[in-house]
Amino acid sequence: MQTKSGVIVVLSGPSGSGKSSLMKRVEDKLDNYYISISTTTRPARNQEINGEDYLFISKEEFLKDIRDNCFLEHAVVHGNYYGTSIRPVQTALQEGRLVLFDIDVQGHAAIRDKFPDIITSIFITTPSLAELKHRLSGRATETNEIMQERLNIAKKELLHIKEYDYVLVNDDFEQTVNALLDIIQAAKLKKPAAEIDDFVSKWLQN
């Protein structure tokens, strides 16, 4: 069954679980893909590049985009606005590309609601809460207050883990990379319901 329709793979998990590192590693082994870049009002961190890591805009611009229905989903995280522009996602899917998301549990729910038959979701986590705290401490980029807030959010995110198709415990990085690639390859075989219905109709006519 040949098709040009694209598919979606969503990665979620606590800050510090390794989602960004995993995403960067698998990029080199994929083709015909689009990585959805979030728009945010938070300041850029060291070495982050506007248009590559995030689209950094003002709160006023973000609120205008909300009013103009430009976002597939949006949320407030740690006091800053984050959102996913719907236009580039729709374009990539129409081109038959794999669309990758690194997004929180709220975003996952919104995307699954809009694209239920072409989404594969993966929850990335550390082996334990203690390990997550260790990794966040090792980054040395946040205050103790922000780190504690991230840990509290992580506890809440874990309550949504059953909503995902797969769970990967990022203990051994290389093993997690390989498992992620296997899941992505399987996800690329998904077909939207309308396309399957069309195939069945044609099959019965021949």
State the Cα–Cα distance between residues 99 and 67, nearest whole angstrom. 25
Q: Who contacts 26 (Cβ-Cβ below 8 Å, separation ≥6)?
A: 177, 180, 181, 184
pLDDT digits (tens, 9 = 90+) for 28-74: 899 899 999 889 999 988 888 888 888 899 999 999 999 998 898 88
Task: Determine what percent of the chain is predicted with pLDDT higher than 90.
Answer: 57
Handedness of CA 11, 15, 18, 23 (dihedral sign): positive
Contact 16, 109 (CB under 8 A): no
Question: What is the predicted pLDDT for the residue at 203?
Answer: 94
Most confident of 5-9, 16-20, 31-35, 181-185: 181-185
Instruction: Look at residue 2 and tell me whether its pLDDT is greater than 50.
Output: no
The H helix count followed by the E strand count for the chain is 8, 9
Neighbours of 169 (CB within 10 A): 16
Residue 46: the pLDDT is: 80
Query: Which 3 state secondary structure label does DSSP give 4?
Result: coil
**Domain topology for 7-37+97-205:** Rossmann fold (3.40.50)
The pLDDT assigned to 4 comes to 62
Higher pLDDT, 139 or 41: 41
Check if the beta carbon of residue 176 is closer than 8 Å to that of residue 18: yes
Confidence bin at 187 (pLDDT 50/70/90):
very high
pLDDT at 136: 87
Give the model's pLDDT for residue 143.
Answer: 79
Fill in the amino acid letter for 129. L
Per residue in 173-182, pLDDT tens? Answer: 999 999 999 9
Residue 99, burial from CB neighbour count under 10 angstroms (0-12, 13-18, 19+)? buried
Q: How confident is the model at residue 193 (pLDDT cuts 50, 70, 90)?
A: confident
Q: Which pLDDT value is given to residue 38?
A: 85
Is-contact 40 56, C-beta < 8 A? yes
